[in-house]
Structures are given as C-alpha cells and as structure tokens.
Amino acid sequence: MVRESLLNAENAVLREVVRAGDYWLKEIKKGQTFRILDLEGNQAADTLFYNADDPSERYSATDTVREQRNLYLTVGSQLRSNLNNVMLEIVADTCGRHDTIGGACATESNTVRYSLEKRCMHACRDSWMLALAEHEHLGISKRDITHNINFFMNVPVTRDGGLTFADGISAPGKYVELRACMNVIVLISNCPQLNNPCNAYNPTPIEVLVWN
Ligand SMILES: [Zn+2]
C-alpha cells in the first residue's frame, strides 16, 4: 500500500546519508518520526530495532506477522517486539512492500548460497557486529542480533510457500517512514550484497531523516 508523507524534508532535525555498506545507529525518541530514503533505487536497508530503555526487548518478525496476519510490511504495519509491544508504526510508504522473513546477509549464508570464495565478501551481519563493537555502552551483543526488516527488499512467497529473492520494487526517491511508539535504537546496515538482485548488483547510498 502506498501513502505519501506530509512531512517536509526542510523541517527534519537530522539528515544523514549512509553510504553503501555502512551502518547507521541512532536512538529515535518516542513520538519522533524517521524516514529511510532510497536515493538511487533498488537498495536494501537491513534494519534491527531495540527498546532503548531495555535492549533485551527487540523487534520480532513472528509477533509482527502473527498480529497483522500478513507477511509483508507497509503503511499501517505495527512493528512488534518479542514482548508483543508495539515498537514502531509505518506511517508513510511509497515503495509499498518490505520484507521481514528473508533475514540478512552474512558471510556464512553467502558461502552456502553462492560459493566458497564469497565468504570474504562484506555482509550485513559484519556491519551490525562492527556497529555493536563501536557502541559497547549500549549493552547489545552478538546474541541480540535476531529478526530484522529488509526495507525496500522484495521477497515474494510462491504458491508453494517458497521464498524468492526477486528484483527490487523500489526506485530512486522511494521511501518508508516510521513513527516510534517507544524510545528505540535503530541499527541499519545499508546492504553491501553483490550476489543477488536485492541491490540490483550495485549497492548505493540511502538517506535517513528524523522529525520531532
Ligand atoms: Zn545484506
């Protein structure tokens, strides 16, 4: 479902470009809204969410899918935690569909899916691990890296229940906007994957905007 935002970029309190392959980690306060903007199109933003006041509470794909009775995320989706609390709500979306079942790329999955020599290639999990190592004070560790959302990524489920990593449905300038329903830590890996069409084989920058 597509719904455009009423917010004006000129009023944003923060605007940051995240280069392909970099991470973005920030706290978003309850009531703030943030936008992930696909600057050049066909880019995947692999994102984790934690309760900033107690990071042992974090985003749960199973709770989210069960409560909304739909596999895909778009406007109106409430992103739930492992305690079934609503963490964020998608309030605008010009892409129309986001994935939360495909998981994130890792050197191990690159090896299994593609080939042994792909193991040394940069993957989202490495970006998250680097982010957590550089922000030890948050108290989030490797074991807290669990369910994620792949914003802008297209993972349709076949009639037989299979997952397919399809060509992206995003395009330059498309965005998704979320309002925080609690204080949340947002950790985005701007996906460096080169082996499947989720980034159109060409990882590109995104921009993150925040409004009060
Ligand atoms: Zn990735």
Q: How many helices (H) and strands (E) does the chain have?
A: 3, 10
pLDDT digits (tens, 9 = 90+) for 136-190: 999 999 999 999 999 999 888 999 999 887 777 889 999 999 999 999 999 999 9
Residue 122's pLDDT is what? 86
pTM of the model: 0.94
Summarize pLDDT for 66-118 with one digit per residue, the tens. 999 999 999 999 999 999 999 999 999 999 999 999 999 988 888 888 778 87
Mean pLDDT of 129-136: 97
- Please tell me the distance from the alpha carbon of residue 191 to that of residue 188, in angstroms, as a whole number: 9
The yes-or-no verdict on residue 199 having pLDDT over 90 is no
For residue 187, how far is its CA from the centre of ligand 1 (angstroms)? Answer: 13
Distance of CA 183 from the midpoint of ligand 1 (Å): 25
How many angstroms separate the CA atoms of 2 and 74, rounded? 8
Q: What angle do CA 212, 59, 110 make, to 5 degrees?
A: 115
Ligand 1 centroid distance, CA of 104 (Å): 5
Contacts of 1 by beta carbon, 8 Å cutoff, 6+ apart: 74, 75, 76, 93, 96
Residues, CB within 5 angstroms of ligand 1 (ion)? 46, 105, 124, 191, 193
